[in-house]
Amino acid sequence: MEFLIILISAVFVNNIVLSQFLGICPFLGVSSKVSTSVGMSGAVLFVMTIATTVTYLLHQYLLVPMGLDYLRTITFILVIAALVQMVEIVMKKVSPPLYQALGVFLPLITTNCAVLGVAILALGLEDGSLIKAVFFAISSSAGFALALIVFASIREYLELADLPEGMKGVPINLLVAGLLSLAFLGFAGLV
């Protein structure tokens, strides 16, 4: 039951992008096409899950026992940066078209506050187990993917819509992002 609550909470109620406003840069930057949004979601899933696992273990078994808890943020940033470099190298070899499509946004995962935020938030879970932390990271990345793909789908549809000239581009995108955020606010009493 706890895992179901974590899943529903991370995906719908406390969506990392639409409720907590973390990861807005890739949310607005990569969401112009569904295909690139799916690729970015996969990269974020991988990085967020591995980063949360590694940072959790580093925090529990190195930083806390040595009294270096104050180095948590800088340690987490370094781990995330190293993981993003690894994902970039693998993606360049495995899927060059996806690597080209993501372009400058792939290195943005390094500074994506959603990845760092989830790694830090995972430490604050109730009983603090590694399994719950990893499940929280997977659920949060699923919420990120849901928000990104839904937003990209709407943006693709809006490309064909007859909009007033002043609403095309950034204005309509921000309006739709706000409406999506309000729609996810409707899940607030669920958990």
Structure tokens of 29?
Answer: 């930057």
The verdict on pTM exceeding 0.85 is: yes
157-170 pLDDT, tens per residue? 998 888 899 998 88
Under the banding of pLDDT at 50, 70 and 90, the label for residue 107 is confident
Q: CB atoms < 10 A from the CB of 70, how many?
A: 8
Eight-state DSSP code of residue 104? G
Domain boundaries, the chain: 2-185
- For 72-96, the pLDDT digits (tens) are 999 999 988 888 888 788 888 988 8
Residue 67's Cα: distance from chain center in Å? 30
Rounded to whole angstroms, the Cα distance separating 73 from 189 reads 31
